[in-house]
A and B are shown apart, each in its own frame.
Chain A
């Protein structure tokens, strides 16, 4: 299935991209498995998305958890903890 994946702030800079339309294999069904798939690209993807990094994820513009399901056409965004105000 296809997902729209977005990256913001320091993560966008580290990864060198604002986002991508991504074809994911059938095993990718949750936020956690999508993150693992992206990390498997290695290099900066491995380090920037590593477990233990304070990262937030939103699915269809709602805050999500590692167990949140993703389905075809979803917009999934990865970003650091927010610092507005």
Chain B
């Protein structure tokens, strides 16, 4: 499966090995892991809960993967995103891109994260000593995603 949403943790090494297995054409593997931080917006974060929209979230991620494959010459893509309760140091998201060369793999990996953060229906609620709060979307994430609108494989 290209896209997985799960409560349990993931093993990036095992996921990468599985993606590479049997494909000697791969010359580059780019990966990103997002991790739960101990602080956000000036508060200590003791835990967070990730909510999603079952059905739509999977579809949105599959659409983003398809768009990345359309823009860059990459071979395989894997996106694993966790939901449920997470604590600081826990892994949240894994994106892996394989390809023949690093330039396309790096670019596709960054694009996938930028689009995931602004287009895939996930919501974070943080627990802090001051109480719980929903994380607000950041303008910087929209800007990061906006960069890709006039950039494609040609610019990568």
Contact = CB atoms under 8 A, between A and B. Distances in A.
A82 B125 contact: no
A58 interface: yes
A19 B93 CA distance: 28
Interface string B47-68: 0001111011001100000000
B124 A10 contact: no
Contacts of B93: 84-85
B146 interface: no
What range describes how many residues of B lie at the interface? 20 to 34
Given A8-B121, A8-B123, A9-B123, A83 B135 contact: yes
A10 to B, nearest CB: 4
Interface in B111-143: 113, 116-125, 134-137
A77 B116 contact: no
Contacts, number: 72
Given A9-B123, A63-B119, A84 B52 contact: yes
Contacts of A58: 53, 56, 121
Interface in A7-30: 8-10
B92 interface: yes
Contact of B50 (A10, A62, A77, A84): A84
A84 B116 contact: yes
Interface of A: 6, 8-10, 54, 58, 61-63, 77, 79-85
22 contacts: A8-B121, A9-B51, A10-B125, A58-B53, A61-B59, A61-B60, A62-B59, A63-B119, A77-B53, A80-B134, A81-B136, A82-B119, A82-B121, A82-B123, A83-B122, A83-B137, A84-B81, A84-B116, A84-B117, A84-B122, A85-B120, A85-B122
Interface of B: 34, 50-53, 55-56, 59-60, 81, 92-93, 113, 116-125, 134-137
